[in-house]
Amino acid sequence: MLKGIPKILSPELLKVLCEMGHGDRLVIADGNFPAQSVGRDAVVIRMDGHGACEVLEGILRLFPLDTYVEQPVHLMGLVPGDKAETPIWDVYKKIIGEADDRGAAAVGQLERFAFYEEAGKAYAVIATGERALYANIMLQKGVVL
């Protein structure tokens, strides 16, 4: 056992976070995201019993966001005409603000298919059981100073 590691982070996930280098991307996917197909070239970690916010919060305790890019965090943008509500985005921005001085300015959006394309290049995809719509979030790793 180790001290100071958020309990939600499994040994498998800790290993993956450690293996990742500067600029590598990590996707925290909601329950509707096609994690296995989009992540076919990535490490896919199943965390079905957990929500995306608690996973994000645990990861950001250890994972630096990239300071060499303006927006190291991307959300999947709404499909035009979709009337879905996205209150989880406000929660994400609050969690990010607690981990990074840029706060909400560090967060951008990608159109749905652009998000899928970029997620397909990610080092790892975490498949959560998150039920909120448009709860997919991609993080780009920075350096530890």
Q: Dihedral through CA 84, CA 117, CA 71, CA 19, nearest 10?
A: 120
Q: Is residue 16 part of a domain?
A: no
Residue pLDDT, tens place only, 24-83? 999 999 999 999 999 999 999 999 999 999 999 999 999 999 999 999 999 999 999 998
Band (pLDDT 50/70/90 cuts) for residue 1 is: confident
| 10 in any annotated domain | no
**How high is the pLDDT of residue 67?**
97
Helix, coil or strand: residue 142: coil
Domain that holds residue 58: 23-140
Could you tell me the CA-to-CA distances from 25 to 2, 33, 47, 64 in Å, in that order?
A: 25, 16, 18, 11
The answer to whether position 120 is within a domain reads yes
Total domain count, the chain = 1
Enumerate the active-site residues: 22, 66, 116
| CATH number reported for the structural domain that contains residue 128 in this entry | 3.40.1650.10
**Quick check: is 15 in a domain?**
no
Q: Is 56 helix (H, G, I), strand (E, B) or coil?
A: helix
pTM of the model: 0.96
17 falls within a domain: no
Q: Kindly report, residue by residue over 101-112, the tens digit of the pLDDT.
A: 999 999 999 999
Residue 7 lies in a domain: no
